[in-house]
Amino acid sequence: MKHRIWSIAVALGLLLATVVPVSAAGDGIITRDDAGTYLRYDGGTDATLQGCSTGRRVQNEPSVAIDPSDTDVIVAGANDYCAQTVDGDVWAGYYRSTDGASSWRNSLVPGYPGDDSPAGSASPTRGACSAAGDPTQSFDAAGRLFYGFICFNRAKPSNGSIYVATYGDHGGSYLRTVRVARGTPSVAGLFHDKINVVADQTDGPYSGNLYVAWVLYRGFSANNVVLVSRSTDHGQTFSRPISVSQGLGEEQFADLAVGPDGSVYLTYRTFDVQGPTSDAIWVTRSTNGGQSFERPRRVAAIDAFDSDIYGGRACGDGPFACPTGLTFSRFASLSAVAADESGVHVVWNARDGDGQARIYAQNLSGDLRAGTAPATLDSVAVGHQWFPDVASADGVIAVVFYDSRNDPAYSADRPPGNTSIGVNSGDVVETRLARSSDGGATWAEIVLSAERSNFGWETGNARRLGFAGDYNYISSVTGATFAAWTDSRNLVPGSDPRETGDDSDEDGFDVYQPCVYDPNDIDAATYASPLISDPCLSMGGLDYDIFGAAP
């Protein structure tokens, strides 16, 4: 049974914006900060998008999708903090190319706080939430684009809800935004998080179905659960969510794929947080168009590569420093899944016996009952690998991931980019792609990024913490593959005038923020002295960008 939650068909103009050329290095920038680069879905502008065009703020957690009906059309999304310059918080960025990623047009999903356009005013997000993120995207076979995201209020009560925006005309025309699941405005209520969407591009019995997976947190409970909803009318309505996991502990990072016969596959990660729970990777399957799922199977128990093993979820300076003296953004082990004629391919990152983070893959039969043993993609003995995503087309499985094998200060005992005394070891993180043409039996790797990154930079606004997002993304259809990642090459280093006394040692992770600070403002609750809209934060010190490449 399905129920109608929201359906506002606002079929409005094409996404018209300034075309941004790609760099000549082979990998190209998707998000840019030049005047006029961000415009509305209908070609108009407003104060928020004018601020986005020059704000030089963070973009992270990219998503990407290739249109199977026209592979010159590629769309991407990101947590786009450019909206902070006017609206005070992050929103879901939407970027589109019609020439195979040679140029991009930048926008935001309608409904942000400052959006007074017809589509923005009609969106169910308007007035309900002030921040949006966790972008995820998928085309169906007819060129309809579905853009999933969460929308929430950062202050308590946080009431996070799940939404899907639909675009027609190969992603060029915004149609509607629909709320799939509603968070409740109570501190002990419901918060929906970490959404993933996939459309059935096959010609089978469930062709055109859209599947949405996410995690539901129930107030103060330590247990959460993975939910799935489906739409059989191109994103106009969604079914009542069903639980596909056991809900015995913390379960996160759901990822979906559709196989050649229309079977739906879902993988997720569990965390060792209480009682019988453990760090593990799981997978499950639906053979009836998402109406029900089989009991999840544990793919592997893992030694998780989570940032808290190095002294904190994220570590920076001042009141945000960790006892280890290291500086890093948060990260975690997570899994992803793809399915093709050769089987089901689950990838994840975890630590090996030496403490090195590696990318693992397991290749399973379509019914998930048989398969190979988990194995690493390569035998490189140094460098951490993390944030994998996987896709498959034309008989080739492709996995994108970060890799720090070229970090001269690498140690299994440290997060990427840190020396033994907690100093920045340089731009040492590469974005790599591994490919297999034999069903995952063997792999060959290439480097996607012309330049390297470091994710210890303290970009968390004026706080001395970093945040580079929680994932990379890759899309493959017949005739095309495209990967997207967060990149720090355009970030401007600097120094923090607040650092005095024991906090005055240069660690090389400070970024350019020419703000005026109160030297007595050192309390953790008020350490972010300037308002988030302060122009001093738009000078390049927070400038993570989204880059992409077609291998």
For residue 280, what is the domain's CATH number?
2.120.10
Instruction: Based on the fold, state whether residues 389 and 318 are members of the same structural domain.
Output: yes
Among 255, 284, 301, the domain boundary falls at 301
Domain of 266 in residue numbering reads as 1-301
- Residues 231, 346, 234: CA angle, nearest 5 degrees: 15
Instruction: Based on the fold, state whether residues 192 and 316 are members of the same structural domain.
Output: no
**Residue type at position 167:** Y
Instruction: Based on the fold, state whether residues 333 and 287 are members of the same structural domain.
Output: no
Instruction: Based on the fold, state whether residues 138 and 190 are members of the same structural domain.
Output: yes
Number of domains the chain contains: 2
Among 301, 319, 335, the domain boundary falls at 301
Instruction: Based on the fold, state whether residues 272 and 307 are members of the same structural domain.
Output: no
Instruction: Based on the fold, state whether residues 256 and 317 are members of the same structural domain.
Output: no
Among 240, 273, 301, the domain boundary falls at 301
Q: What is the pTM of this model?
A: 0.93
Instruction: Based on the fold, state whether residues 143 and 41 are members of the same structural domain.
Output: yes
Q: Which of 52, 47, 171, 178 lies closest to 116 in space, CA to CA?
A: 47
Instruction: Based on the fold, state whether residues 290 and 395 are members of the same structural domain.
Output: no
CA distance 61 to 332: 13
Q: Which of 458, 483, 341, 319 lies closest to 401 in space, CA to CA?
A: 483
Instruction: Based on the fold, state whether residues 404 and 510 are members of the same structural domain.
Output: yes
Instruction: Based on the fold, state whether residues 461 and 358 are members of the same structural domain.
Output: yes
Instruction: Based on the fold, state whether residues 291 and 361 are members of the same structural domain.
Output: no
Return per-residue pLDDT of the chain as tens, 551 residues. 333 233 333 333 333 333 333 332 458 999 988 888 999 999 999 999 999 999 999 999 999 999 999 999 999 999 999 999 999 999 999 999 999 999 999 999 999 999 999 999 999 999 999 999 999 999 999 999 999 999 998 876 667 899 999 999 999 999 999 999 998 866 666 788 899 999 999 999 999 999 999 998 876 666 789 999 999 999 999 999 999 997 777 889 999 999 999 999 999 999 998 777 899 999 999 999 999 999 999 999 999 999 999 999 999 887 888 999 999 999 999 999 999 999 999 999 999 999 999 999 999 999 999 999 999 999 999 999 999 999 999 999 999 999 999 999 999 999 999 999 999 999 999 999 999 999 999 999 999 988 999 999 988 765 678 899 999 999 999 999 999 999 999 999 998 777 765 555 678 999 998 887 766 666 666 665 678 888 888 999 999 999 999 98
- Residues 367, 214, 73: CA angle, nearest 5 degrees: 85
Q: Which of 99, 128, 135 lies closest to 112 in space, CA to CA?
A: 128
Instruction: Based on the fold, state whether residues 180 and 220 are members of the same structural domain.
Output: yes
Q: Phi first, then psi: what are they for 47, rounded to 5°?
A: -60, -40
